[in-house]
A and B are shown apart, each in its own frame.
Chain A
Amino acid sequence: MFFKHISIKFMIAVSVSVLVLMFSFSTFFIYDLKNIQEHQRDDFIKQLRSIRQEEETTFSNLIKAKGKVLVKTFATNQYENMKNYDYDAVEEMASNVQKNHLIASLNVKDPEGHVIFKGKENRKYDFRVPIEKEGDMAGYVEVALNLKPLKKRALKAANKINMLTLNSVKETELAVHRIIVITVICAGVGTLLICGIIYLIFFLTITRPLNSLRDAAEAIANGKLDSDIPVCSGNEICQLAQSLNHMLNSLRNEKLLKEEVERRKKIEKELVIAKENAEKYAQDALDAAKVKSDFLANMSHEIRTPMNGVIGMAELLSETDLSEEQVDYVKVICESGDSLLGIINDILDFSKIESGHMELEQIQVSLQDLIESVFDIFKRKASEKGIELIHYLEEDVPRYVKGDPGRIRQILVNLVSNAIKFTKKGEIFLSVRKNNENNGVAELLFSVKDTGIGIRHDQKEKLFKAFSQANVSTTRKYGGTGLGLAISQRLVHLMQGKIWFESEEGIGTEFLFTLKLPAIDLPVDGTIYSEQTENLRNKKVLIVDDNATNRKILSIQCRKWDMIPTAFSKAEDGLNALRKSEFDVGLLDMDLPEMDGVELAREIRKFVKKDKLPLMLISSVQKPTNVEFPGELFSFYIPKPVKQAHLFSALQRIFASHAESEKATNPRKIHRRDKIPELSRQYPLELLLAEDNPINIKLVDKIFSKMGYDFDVAKNGQEAVDMATAKNYDIIFMDCQMPEKSGYDATRELREKGVKSVIIAMTANALEEEEKKCRNAGMDDYLAKPVHISDLSAKITQWAEKPSSR
């Protein structure tokens, strides 16, 4: 009863004050609304007025125009009268014109301003019209227009507008009244709401705590200690609750102590379980990573093995006698297989890099060889498309660096393959420059510059993203997966470099990347060439090549060897120069405009003999026929892209004495392809192939027989061990995945038994670890499947020439 009494009193007080507040607020609001409405009305009226005024000006302009026409006609007719001083006629006509309702008044004056006709009203005139003919002025007319009817019209319109205004003002007022009523209602409802809320607050802060205090006191009296009395701060009720709590606390402390001991025991148990779980998860994660990388390895193996068969067989097939149609088919098989393999490699590489599995080698790399080998891959394609492949290493670039040749090569291959893909004609220029060198680490700038379709600026961002290409039509037209650049970029980043490009649409693209590579300080080029440059010193070289970059590089190389080059872009100019002065040797490009290299040589031979001026033909044809390379005209044939070593040895042969030249040149390098069948004669070797897959055996068999080799086959690891211990093989080609005994185990066993044969792993597993695993097992080298004829011959040559390992 007592509490209720307080709350009611409180409620009334609050309600009254809220009501007063609401009332004053609504009054203010209504007042404001009224104000706004009046403002709006005034604005409205102002706007209407200006519209009316506009209307009036338009009308008066119209009237003025009409009046002007009338008066002009009048003025033209008065010229003769004015000239003859026939003022009676003028007056008569003027008074006629003045009768027109448009004209209020009209004065006619002579040129000196004498009034000839005075209008009926003495008003300021609106305009003046001269009375003239062919520039001779005979007077003028001053006109005041009659705008009264117009005014009447305007007045009518104004009345109409006023009516409209009044109506709309009334409507607005009505609306305002409506708003006022709504406001009052809202204020009422609001008051009720606010009162309710205040009562609620009152109930929550005072009534309820008091109730709960009462309940708690009763509970303590009944001996229940576990529930605390809710405590707040500030008012008297809260203080009461606090002192009650004090009493309660001392009763409870004892009970708590017991409970805490139990809780701690439980947590300990939970921790043990959590630790066990964490260990299990970690193991799972490790397992998953391993599963993933195993999966990748297996997948690559599973795909590569059959691909090996497909590509290898197709390659062999292509060497047999085939009809033209069949040759085409085989070519397609080879190309498709190669590109499929490329895609697999790319995907594999990419996932490897992404998962942080990529490891970089640190071995000695010859940049010159590296670049030349990259161009070797593309020279056929380039010559088919008629594109020049040119490379140039600047003087100060270290010839040998420490790095991962495979990866650098991969980047270059990607960039050059793109360049070739997107270039129709022109050249691809690969150059290397040294930006700086710090503590023996050189920062090299590689550039692959083409003259192709270029890249639009807005596509710059996305190109380095995986699976992205410049635009959709690229895929359709040029194929590709969009992985090349993504992989290249990541590889460059792995090697602490940057990659970017500059491009102009339709003109070409230049991809650039930097790598920081430790330079190996071997006295390389200098010593190799300097011994023999004596022969070349001051020899005059005639260079004829239409490609400016080629001319420049050939000239630079010749100059490096102390020769004196003179370069021409046209056959005609070269001929003229030869007629005028003597040269010691001529370097002729095959693809010249107008007259090609062979024709030019024929012309030259008309007046210079072969022994007087040896000529070299530079051509992109890989296996020239006699027509393409007539021996009677030329001394040497240099295939494109021109390798420095080729050029050097060819020049050496020409200028050195016979004995020296034989030593200096390396014919294998020039015509390596031709030598392949005779490899067995050059390097008679005992070979063993350990391989379980019959297709692969057949494939290798074909390749070896091409080279002229016989060889033994072991069907599994155990057989391999048995055979290799029984017979002394020079090279053992060892498949890694074999039944019974794997390639690794077999190798280990052989090495333990002291077998010294060269063991080359053959595996479809392209992962880096794989190679490491092979080497760890004691293998000497590593050959990725599918096995290509060229790879195999290169390996054989490499190991056959290495006397130390045998």
Chain B
Amino acid sequence: MSISKRTLSAFIFKGLVILSSLSFALYLAADDSLKIGIMQDKRGMAEHFAPLIKYFDTKGVKVQLIGFNSYRNAAEKFRDGKIDAMFAGSGVAGTMILKGLAYPLVRPVSVGGWSTYWAVVLVPKSNNDFKMTPKYWSSKKIICSALASSGEFFCRAFLGKNTKLLIAGNHGNAISALAKGVADIAVVKNRVWDAVKARYPDLKKVAEDHGKNPNNTLIVSSKIDKNLADKVKKILLSLKNDNSPEAESLKKALKITGYIVTTKHDFSHTIPLIKHAGVDKNYDFGD
């Protein structure tokens, strides 16, 4: 019995301290929190994300929704590490990539089996002399969706970056405005047109883009923790083969079958397009 009572108690105390600090570190490591940015004034976004948040929760990742009020604001938040990730159309995603603020991670595959889209050009059926030339377009009123590679960016790439355009809130709005005669030409996302064209018997598609853009890509901040990024990627990629109720309800809600890996290569059409439209490192989303 060479060890005194006192030495023993000191040993036990030291052990306890080490144990508790270890468990705290473990707890910290387990508590991975993902801050997803969403456009504040878009209605129904919280409900839209509810199943996704729940799914992440089951996988041990806490999701926090961070609002931004403009894409410029979003870019700042990416830069400052206040947003980790964001689901974005190819135009915004491409711009963030071009600005070096984010990189792509995954994108959803729709129940229809597609994960890309492209621009289509619509005119009223009564229009018989449409020409896909800048001269013809210059005398027309053109409507398109803001910051979309199948909308505003397409048009600016085609006609020049300072062209006067009617900017609609979304592709649907652009189509209905065309139908009502507010504009002569609409440039919209083919997926939207395909979904609603039955409602617009008086419109017709007269042209479309030749390249494809990745749809609704999850981009992550360049400042995100690599581990967290990998974990998120892993979780989303596993969704396809996950049959848990949470997974099923998520797929149903978002009308997707799962996610696929997405890299800069997937933007090989998009990025040159937006560069043509005038987007560079200093682009500020037109605000």
Cβ of A115 within 8 Å of any chain B Cβ, yes or no, is yes
Structural contact, A85 and B166, CB atoms closer than 8 A? yes
Closest B-chain residue to A115, C-beta based?
B180
Quick check: B181 and A85 within 8 Å, CB to CB?
Answer: no
Chain B residues lying within 8 Å of A712, measured Cβ to Cβ, are none
Complex-state Cα separation, A84 to B180, whole angstroms = 14
Q: Are A88 and B181 in contact (CB under 8 A)?
A: no
A315 interfacial by beta-carbon distance below 8 Å: no
Within 8 A of B (CB), among A74-88: 84-88
Q: Are B169 and A110 in contact (CB under 8 A)?
A: no
Interface size range of chain B in the complex: 10 to 19
**Which are the 10 A-B pairs with shortest beta-carbon distances?**
A84-B169, A85-B168, A85-B173, A85-B177, A87-B176, A114-B181, A114-B182, A86-B173, A86-B169, A114-B180
Would A110 and B182 count as touching, CB distance under 8 A? Answer: yes
B143 CB within 8 Å of chain A: yes
Q: How large is the interface on A (under 10, 10 to 19, 20 to 34, 35 or more residues)?
A: 10 to 19
What's the least CB distance linking A78 to chain B, in Å?
A: 13
Instruction: Give the docked Cα–Cα distance between A86 and B143 (Å).
Output: 12
Chain B residues with CB below 8 A from A88, complex form:
172-173, 176
Contact with B along A330-343 (1 / 0, CB 8 A): 00000000000000
Let me know if A116 is at the binding interface, CB within 8 A.
yes
Once the chains are docked, how many angstroms separate the CA of A87 from the CA of B175?
10
A94-117, CB under 8 A of B: which get 1 and which 0?
000000000000000010101110
Listed A/B pairs (16) with beta-carbon separation below 8 Å: A84-B168, A85-B166, A85-B173, A85-B174, A85-B176, A85-B182, A86-B168, A86-B173, A87-B177, A87-B180, A88-B172, A88-B173, A88-B176, A114-B180, A114-B181, A115-B181
Q: Which residues of A contact B (CB under 8 A)?
A: 84-88, 110, 112, 114-116
Q: Could you tell me the distance between the alpha carbons of A84 and B172 in the complex, rounded to whole angstroms?
A: 11
- In angstroms, Cα B43 to Cα A88, docked, is 14
Having A86-B169, A114-B180, one finds 9 other A-B pairs with CB under 8 Å, namely: A85-B143, A85-B168, A85-B173, A85-B174, A85-B182, A86-B173, A87-B180, A88-B172, A116-B180
State the CA gap A768–B182 with chains docked (Å).
120
> Would you give the shortest CB distance from A145 to chain B, in whole angstroms?
25
| B contact residues around A114 at 8 Å (CB) | 180-182
Nearest residue (CB) in B for A139 is B182
A336 to B260, CA, bound (A): 136
- Complex CA gap A99/B131 in Å reads 43
Contacts of A115 in B (CB 8 A): 180-181
CA gap between A110 and B182 in the complex, in Å:
7
A79: min CB distance to chain B, Å: 13
- Chain B residue at minimum C-beta to C-beta distance from A108: B180
Residues in A with CB closer than 8 Å to B168 are: 84-86
- Min distance, Cβ B250 to any Cβ of chain A, angstroms: 27
Complex alpha-carbon distance, A112 and B166, angstroms: 14
Digitize B161-200: 1 where CB-to-A-CB distance is under 8 Å, 0 elsewhere. Answer: 0000010111011101100111000000000000000000
Q: Which residues of A contact B174 (CB under 8 A)?
A: 85
- Chain B residues lying within 8 Å of A112, measured Cβ to Cβ, are 182
Q: Return chain A residues, CB-CB under 8 Å to B143.
A: 85
Kindly state the separation between the CA atoms of A88 and B177 in the bound complex, as whole angstroms. 9
Which residues from chain B contact A110 at a C-beta distance below 8 Å? 180, 182
Shortest beta-carbon distance from A43 to chain B in Å: 56
Residues of A within 8 A of B169 (CB): 84-86
Rounded to whole angstroms, the CA-CA distance of A112 and B183 in the bound complex is: 11
In the assembled complex, the CB of B53 is this many whole angstroms from the nearest CB of chain A, namely 27
Nearest CB in chain A to that of B41: its residue: A80
- Residues of B near A87 (CB, < 8 A) are 173, 176-177, 180
* Complex-state Cα separation, A88 to B174, whole angstroms: 11
User: What residue in chain A is nearest B144 (Cβ atoms)?
Assistant: A85
Q: How far is the CB of A585 from chain B (nearest CB, A)?
A: 106
A84, B182: Cβ atoms closer than 8 Å: no
* Bound complex: CA A87 to CA B169 (Å): 10
Contacts of A85 in B (CB 8 A): 143, 166, 168-169, 173-174, 176-177, 182
Give chain B nearest CB distance to A243 CB in angstroms. Answer: 123
Q: Chain B residues near A86 (CB, 8 Å)?
A: 168-170, 173
A84 to B143, CA, bound (A): 10
B177 nearest in chain A by CB position: A85
Q: A85 to B175: give the CA distance in the assembly, Å.
A: 9
Residues of A contacting B182 with CB < 8 Å?
Answer: 85, 110, 112, 114, 116
Asked whether, in the complex, the Cβ of A84 is within 8 Å of the Cβ of B181, the reply is no
| Distance between Cα atoms of A114 and B181 in the complex (Å) | 6
In chain B, what residue has the closest Cβ to A117?
B180
Q: Once the chains are docked, how many angstroms separate the CA of A88 from the CA of B176?
A: 8
The CA of A86 and the CA of B146, in the complex, are separated in Å by 13
Least distance between A611 CB and chain B CB atoms (Å)? 112
Cα A85 to Cα B170 in complex, Å, equals 8
Q: Which residues of A contact B176 (CB under 8 A)?
A: 85, 87-88
Residue of B with least CB distance to A90: B176
State in angstroms the CA–CA spacing of A737 and B143 once bound together. Answer: 137
Chain A residues positioned under 8 Å from B177 (CB to CB): 85, 87
Residue of B nearest to A81 (CB): B169
Q: Given the complex, which residues of A lie within 8 Å of B181, measured CB to CB?
A: 114-115
Report Cα–Cα, A593/B177, bound state, in Å. Answer: 98
A114 to B178, CA, bound (A): 10
Separation of A115 and B181 alpha carbons in the complex (Å): 8
* CB proximity of B177 to chain A, nearest CB, Å: 4
Instruction: Report Cα–Cα, A110/B143, bound state, in Å.
Output: 14
Q: Which residue of B lies closest to A112 (CB)?
A: B182
CB distance from A110 to the nearest CB of B (A): 5
Chain A residues, CB < 8 A from B166:
85
Q: Tell me the minimal C-beta distance from B50 to chain A in angstroms.
A: 23
Nearest CB of chain B from residue A608's CB, rounded to whole Å: 103
B286 to chain A, nearest CB (A): 14
Question: How many Å lie between the Cα of A564 and that of B63 in the bound state?
Answer: 122
Taking the closest CB of chain A, its distance from the CB of B143, in whole angstroms, is: 6
Closest to A80 in B: B169
With the chains together, A276 CA to B177 CA distance in Å? 133
Q: Which residue from chain B places its CB closest to the CB of A113 in the assembled complex? A: B181
How far is it, in angstroms, between the C-alpha of A87 and the C-alpha of B166 when the chains are bound? 14
Closest to B141 in A: A112
A110 to B168, CA, bound (A): 14
Rounded to whole Å, the gap between the CB of B181 and the closest CB of chain A is 4
A84–B182 CA distance with the chains assembled, in angstroms: 12
For B166, B172, B176, the residue with the greatest tally of chain A CB atoms inside 10 Å of its CB is B176
Complex alpha-carbon distance, A87 and B174, angstroms: 9
A84 to B181 Cα, complex, angstroms: 15
A116 to B180, CA, bound (A): 6
Residue of B nearest to A83 (CB): B169
Q: In this complex, what residue of B is CB-closest to A91?
A: B176
In the assembled complex, the CB of B179 is this many whole angstroms from the nearest CB of chain A, namely 8
* Shortest distance between the CB of B276 and any CB in chain A (Å): 24
Residue from A85, A86, A115 with most neighbouring chain B CB atoms (10 Å): A85
Residues of A within 8 A of B172 (CB): 88
Chain A nearest Cβ from B180, distance in angstroms:
5
B71 CB to closest chain A CB (Å) equals 15
Chain A, residue nearest B181 (CB): A114
A528 vs B137: C-alpha distance in the bound complex, in angstroms? 126
- CB-CB under 8 A from B180, the residues of chain A are 87, 110, 114-116
Shortest CB distance B280–A (Å): 27
- Closest CB in chain B relative to A550 CB, distance in Å: 96
Nearest residue, chain A, Cβ from B179: A87
Which residue on B lies nearest to A87, using beta carbons? B176
Chain A residue contacts of B170, Cβ below 8 A: 86
- What distance in Å separates the Cβ of A321 from its nearest Cβ neighbour in chain B? 117
Alpha-carbon gap, A86 to B169, bound state (A): 7
Min Cβ gap A201→B in Å is 101
